[in-house]
Amino acid sequence: MIDLTSALGPSFDAGKAPADALAVNAAILKRLESWDNWAHPPAVIRQMRREGRGAFPAPIPSPRARTITMDGPHGPIDLRIIAPENPKGVYVHIHGGGWVLGSVDQQDQWLERFADRAGMACVSIDYRLAPEHPYPQGPDDCEAAALWIAGEAKRLFGTDRLVIGGESAGAHLAAVTLLRLRDRHGVMPFRAANLHAGCYDLALTPSVRRWGAEKLVLNTRDIEMFVRHFLVQGGDVRNPDISPLHADLKGLPPALFTVGSLDPLVDDTLFMAPRWAAAGNRATLEVYAGGCHVFIGFPGSNTDRCLERIETFMGEACAD
């Protein structure tokens, strides 16, 4: 028997939240009190986010990054690489942004850290974004890139020890990619999955529906709009290729699920991790008290602990 109250209760106790996490949350709420993601076209919002005019600070691109290009089903796909010498493994990374926003160079700070501390060659996929390129184009790009990297990793990096993962929509796309590789290609080249703050049910879980208007990074309306843009050409939210929570999850690699307790998407992780384990896969679930959506994008003790945990997880997955 698993005592869930003992395991999860402290993570949802407001008194257990680190003071620095609560200070970050307060600053985000103040910053976004008049911010409307949907007052401008997505292309304009993307540029505003690049300038730091959203929830997250302006990104600082890594001078170490390089880009290679591969052919994809909808045209060329860029892969952004940050790698150490003699990497221990390859981390195939898929960025977040609700399938609509975000970009391949906006999380260099922790990909650099994974390269330096975990010895991972980080390869981030520049997949196509909705609504200009709606479902299934983004997942198609990720599927094609993951297959290509699996075939070329040994040549490029000297190792074929592979981990896949991402944040928010990136975690969703990582899960979908694993399912596609299993079902469409009969392969499972990845040793592990790092899934942070994912959205796994596009029908929307209770925590999303009940969140409301408070804009702690994002709110209910934002998530509804992201789904609407992603599926602008249609799609059944019960389809496992769209909502991997509904999939048969057998035969998938060990996964680390991390999420903040104050994330509108917290239920997605709370539902997905046990289903992953019930399918016979190893799953580790960690909830960080007071953490907002993708809290690793902000400085603080939760971020330090979570990134260290991810580094350890990836290092163990790529050990001989």
Taking the model in full, what pTM does it have? 0.97
- Does the domain formed by 4-317 have CATH 3.40.50.1820? yes
Looking at residue 184, the DSSP 8-state letter turns out to be I
Say if residues 124 and 79 touch (Cβ distance below 8 Å).
Answer: yes
Q: Does the active-site annotation cover 293?
A: yes
Is 168 tagged catalytic? yes
First-to-last alpha carbon distance for the chain, in angstroms, is 33
CA distance 134 to 4: 38
Question: Which of 140, 201, 222, 263 does the annotation list as catalytic?
Answer: 263
The mean pLDDT values, 10 residues at a time, for the chain of 320 residues are: 73 92 96 87 89 80 96 98 97 98 93 97 98 98 98 98 98 99 98 98 98 96 98 98 98 98 98 98 98 96 98 95
126 is an active site residue: no
pLDDT at position 49, please? 84
- The catalytic residue among 93, 95, 172, 293 is 293
The residues spanned by each domain of the chain are: 4-317
Question: What residues contact 138, with CB distance under 8 A and at least 6 apart?
Answer: 99, 127, 128, 129, 130, 173, 230
CA count, 13 A, side-chain hemisphere, 26 = 7
277's tokens: 């384990």
pLDDT value for 183: 98
pLDDT at 55: 75
The catalytic position among 11, 168, 243, 261 is 168
Q: What's the pLDDT at 111?
A: 96
Q: DSSP strand E in 141-181: where?
A: 162-167
